[in-house]
């Protein structure tokens, strides 16, 4: 078995960000992104800071609303609805996870579907599953990384995820690529892990030659780590996304692209 190839998410993301910035420069108006951040989770604050930096560099208006972890759910819903009504805001992002007392599905459902930048609003999710709409940003990011990692055109896939809201569109994308799901990752040519359990995916749990996409991110001793045990996967996986430097940069790049998509659609009345 050859050495495991590390999929460079930063390089792919840089191309997407450059294209988004060029589109923004030609728009004739400033697209706006509204972000709701609840609680003090270090990873969430880091991600929002990176998103803010990327948006400002690309020329996107970035407006954030921060709330303490014990904020009442009504305050979060009010913030989302205020963004819904704000003509300067073309796209809305609620940073997940939310504190336990808040129902994420309810908050996401409060977003205007035409401003749902993540693509997980029930209407947008159904449209994608039915073949009528685009993929959620995270799913699109994973698909692009599979292209970069040389994933096979046919085979099996295995998705390790806690949330069906995430796993359903992901499995749909994989099936459309010719990679239907299996419950046993040892039979899968593509493995996507999004459990948030550091080092939980080891080399003996996958099929030799599989492409592994690591979506799991956890802060451990001040560092961001993934689900993949990279050391034991070395020489077993054909390709692997690193954490950091894999899925993370791609989600930020796709955030810029999709904010521009929503801004153009909204302003053009589509």
β-strands 218-220, 223-225 pairing? antiparallel
Burial of 178 (0-12, 13-18, 19+ CB in 10 A): middle
Report how far residue 179's alpha carbon sits from residue 160's, in angstroms, rounded to the nearest whole number. 15
Is 101 contained in some domain? yes
Q: Residue 93 in contact with residue 104, Cβ under 8 Å?
A: no
Q: Residue 35 in contact with residue 64, Cβ under 8 Å?
A: yes
- Collapse the DSSP code of 172 into the 3-class scheme (helix H, G, I; strand E, B; otherwise coil) and give the result: helix
> Which domain covers residue 36, as residue numbers?
20-135+249-267
The CATH number assigned to the domain holding 74 equals 3.40.50.10860
Q: Are residues 204 and 123 in the same domain?
A: no
Residues written for the chain: 270
Number of structural domains in the chain:
2
How many other CB atoms are found less than 10 A from the CB of residue 233?
Answer: 21
Q: Are residues 257 and 240 in the same domain?
A: no
Place of tokens 């493995």: 191
Report how far residue 215's alpha carbon sits from residue 240's, in angstroms, rounded to the nearest whole number. 11
Q: Averaged in consecutive runs of 10 residues, what is the pLDDT profile of the chain (270 residues)?
A: 92 95 94 97 89 96 97 97 98 94 94 97 96 94 96 97 92 97 97 96 97 92 92 97 95 96 84
Q: Which two tokens stand for residue 222?
A: 């001040």
Query: Global pTM?
Result: 0.92
Is 96 contained in some domain? yes
Tell me what pLDDT residue 270 has. Answer: 55
Cα 30 to chain centroid, rounded? 23
Q: Are residues 146 and 230 in the same domain?
A: yes
Q: Are residues 61 and 127 in the same domain?
A: yes
Cis peptide before 183 (omega within 30 of 0): no
Is 1 contained in some domain? no
């Amino acid at each position: 078995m050859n050495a495991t190839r590390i999929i460079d998410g930063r390089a792919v993301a840089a191309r997407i960000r450059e294209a988004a910035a060029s589109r923004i420069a030609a728009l004739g108006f400033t697209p706006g992104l509204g972000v709701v951040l609840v609680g003090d989770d270090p990873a969430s604050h880091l991600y929002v800071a990176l998103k803010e930096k990327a948006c400002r560099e690309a020329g996107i208006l970035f407006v954030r609303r921060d709330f303490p972890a014990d904020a009442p759910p009504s305050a979060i819903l009010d913030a989302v609805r205020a963004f819904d009504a704000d003509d300067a805001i073309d796209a809305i992002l609620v940073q997940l996870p939310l504190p336990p007392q808040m129902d994420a599905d309810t908050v996401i459902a409060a977003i205007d579907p035409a401003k749902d930048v993540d693509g997980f609003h029930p209407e947008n999710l159904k449209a994608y599953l039915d073949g009528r709409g685009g993929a959620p940003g995270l799913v699109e990011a994973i698909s692009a990384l599979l292209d970069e990692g040389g994933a096979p055109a046919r085979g099996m896939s295995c998705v390790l995820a806690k949330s069906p809201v995430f796993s359903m569109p992901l499995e749909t994308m994989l099936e459309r690529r010719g990679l239907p799901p299996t419950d046993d990752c040892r039979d899968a040519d593509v493995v996507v892990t999004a459990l948030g359990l550091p080092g939980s995916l080891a080399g003996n749990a996958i099929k030799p030659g599989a492409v592994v996409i690591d979506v799991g991110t956890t802060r451990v001793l001040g560092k961001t780590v993934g689900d993949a045990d990279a050391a034991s996967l070395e020489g077993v996986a054909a390709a692997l996304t690193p954490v950091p430097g894999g899925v993370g940069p791609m989600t930020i790049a796709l955030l810029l692209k999709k904010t521009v998509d929503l801004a153009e659609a909204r302003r053009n009345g589509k």
